[in-house]
Amino acid sequence: MTLIKMILNEIFYSIQGEGLNIGKPAVFVRFGNCNLKCRWCDTKYTWRGNKEVALGNVIKEIRKYKQCKHLVITGGEPMLQQKAILALRKAFPKYYIEVETNGSQPVCCFDAVDLFTVSYKTSNSGNAPYELKTRNEKCVYKFVVGGKADLPEIAVVIKKYKLPANKIFLMPRGVTRAAILKNQNFIVDYCKIKGYTFSTRLHILLGLK
């Protein structure tokens, strides 16, 4: 078990601030490295300075938070290290495991994951269009909205991949409380029209990690 290593940035305990499980306590396992470079990324520190850590050490760190049985594997792009995800499932068979991904990678760890939160990156991120490869019944789809001009492109992606409305989350872009509050009202109105779910960034509003 301890021979398995993963590229890791950090492990911490907080609440899930976004998406389907918003407000729930979770242990965050942040993998390092990403295949995309979003201009507004709030975790650019995962692009460099990461550590190669033995699985056994990761397990010990997670077990420090024994009161919590909810893992959020995030990044970076965790789907670049699917063997590590499989290893964490084996180590924590009764945990709820959620993976946050940009959706660019095919899924090889389907059985190990309870929820994939897929955040497809539209052109406001500065990335070229890419194929949405992470699509299955365990997925919800989260789109970061910086302004009204983003909505037509999001609509095209939803239509192209036939994503169900009840699995769509729209979230305001921003790393400050002021930015989140400024952008949220038109997104709420659009969600009401389309039947999508609005997600804030609760950890930002509360000043949490």
Q: What is the pLDDT of residues 106-127, one digit of tens each?
A: 999 999 999 999 999 999 999 9
Domain span at residue 24 reads 5-206
Domain count, the chain: 1
Q: How many CA atoms lie within 13 A of 191 on its CB side?
A: 20
Q: What is the pLDDT of residues 18-54, one digit of tens each?
A: 999 999 999 999 999 999 999 999 899 999 879 999 9
Q: What is the pLDDT of residues 68-120, one digit of tens each?
A: 999 999 999 999 999 999 999 999 999 999 999 999 999 999 999 999 999 99
**Stated pTM of the model:** 0.95
List the beta strands (DSSP E) in 67-187. 70-74, 96-101, 115-118, 139-145, 168-172
Q: What is the CATH number for 49? A: 3.20.20.70
List the beta strands (DSSP E) in the chain. 5-15, 25-31, 51-54, 70-74, 96-101, 115-118, 139-145, 168-172, 197-198
* Rama region for 24: left / alpha / beta (φ>0; ψ in -120 to 50; rest): beta
Q: What's the pLDDT at 1?
A: 45
